[in-house]
Chains A and B, each alone.
Chain A
Amino acid sequence: MTDRTTYVQIRHAQKAFGTLEVLKDISLNVERGQIVAIIGPSGSGKSTLLRAINDLDPLTSGEIWLDGVQVNKSLPFRQYEKHINEMRQQIGMVFQHFNLFPHMTARGNVTMAPKMLKGLSDKEADALAEEQLDKVGMLERIDYYPSQLSGGQKQRVAIARALAMKPKLMLFDEATSALDPELVDEVNQVMKKLAEEHMTMIIVTHEMDFAAAVCDRVLFMDQGVVVEEGPPSVVFKNPEKERTRAFLRKHLETAS
């Protein structure tokens, strides 16, 4: 390793379901504190790439590195399970459909993993839950069950749940796509706040305005390859590739 280690590295990621190639030799570097947006049409492989980073959808070949450690090391089953569980504790993930645990309150959702995996006492975990839920503006709903919360509130609790593990990297998989339009902003605000705190984030999104405002870099993916990559000012304003222009044009039409 050189002294300027790249925080997150994806090297030659390939993924195939049978003969269908979903990811074709993708490489990506993300520096510490950087925020990268991945955009592209549905079926472009962007969610698959994101889910490969914490090995929810394992790659067919290629390597994922986080802070000098390979995430998808090849190890015997038991050792690998132990290793990946440790890695996943360092990688927060937020899902499109929240996936909150319905049988636990907001507090339970946030404290469950820290208590179980990091051995926090009830008191420490409670303090942590209050801190994290306060950060996402959900402190007053701390003892509500998910079924008593709106979509935007659920997603904010889900973000607090991920943050409670003090991750090195946060992955957002279309975190606002399932929300009613008027609830999108409250979640975006939370993500913006994280950006200001220099959380390293990789965001799969349909929201070009948000990506342009918050991200350091934008990747446009189509049919399993990265078509174009660069700062938002370039990718959104002056894209080089025709495919990028076509996608953005189409997106603008449907958005308006």
Chain B
Amino acid sequence: MAAAQGEITQEMFEPVGADKKASEQISRKVVSTWGDAFRRFVKNKGALFSFFILVFIILMALIGPHLNNYGIYNQSLVRSNLPPKISALSWIPAFSGKENGVDIYQQRGVKQDFWFGTDQLGRDQWDRTWAGTQISLIIGLIAALADVFIGVVYGGISGYFGGVTDNILQRIIEIISGIPNLVWIILLILIMQPGLLTITIAILATNWVAMARIVRGEMFQLKSQEFVLASRTLGASDGRIIFRHLIPNSLGMIIVNTMFSIPLAIFFEAFLSFIGLGIRDPQASLGSLINNGFTILQIHPYQTIYPGLIISLLLICFNIVGNGLRDAFDPKLRR
């Protein structure tokens, strides 16, 4: 008002009016949830790097045993406890085939190369290590499937229906999770023979509980939102609402938690095999290989190093990728 003294008067202004079209226009390319998550994940160098290591390990587990033809079970005492040797890389001490300066290959007259060496019975560690990695990966896959097919469904039903159903289902979960995993798995191992099948059943029986709880919480939050009400008004069945609306909306959470439960399951298998209650000789598992190597760790450390390195890498990379995915999907970080 005080400034109205000059030449600027109100008549000089005219309202432009809101251009509805312009204000509603989307000036940037639309980014879907998945695209957004993908973009964030790719930006995370550590997670991307870990992802590629995982892909490498998975590929090696699949093709590694076919790269030579010693086989997983072939024994020969002539070639027992040979250190690793790769002729092309023999300038690296770890792959020279020498132990304490002595070329064991020459001493025994062994012509072939054993890339990761051999164990006490002369079995090729390279083949056995990758065969063990296959077991670990199978266990991880089973854990993921248990999460998705049991955990999500259980948690979904419990959270969606609520009331008495929820109460009963939650009491069951409370009892399942009130018993340490170790005890569950050992009780199962006692009834059946230790082996892949037993560990699979144990994982199917217990591994999904955390997932069920998370999905239940998500369901509680989502089911009272308007789009669910709208869908129900349009006559959608309960199953349709759960599987077409609620679960897709919590998919990010489900993926992230699946990624975290995979390394837990892999660790558990390795742990059980390590204490001799999992996969047993002659079958190979990373845990049992490490356990075998431990007995002669002081004399032939290479028998422990490679399986130990691979299981560690596997677990570290799964966890880092899981972290990367969580950051990529985390709604709190998204602005």
Q: Do A and B form a real pair?
A: no
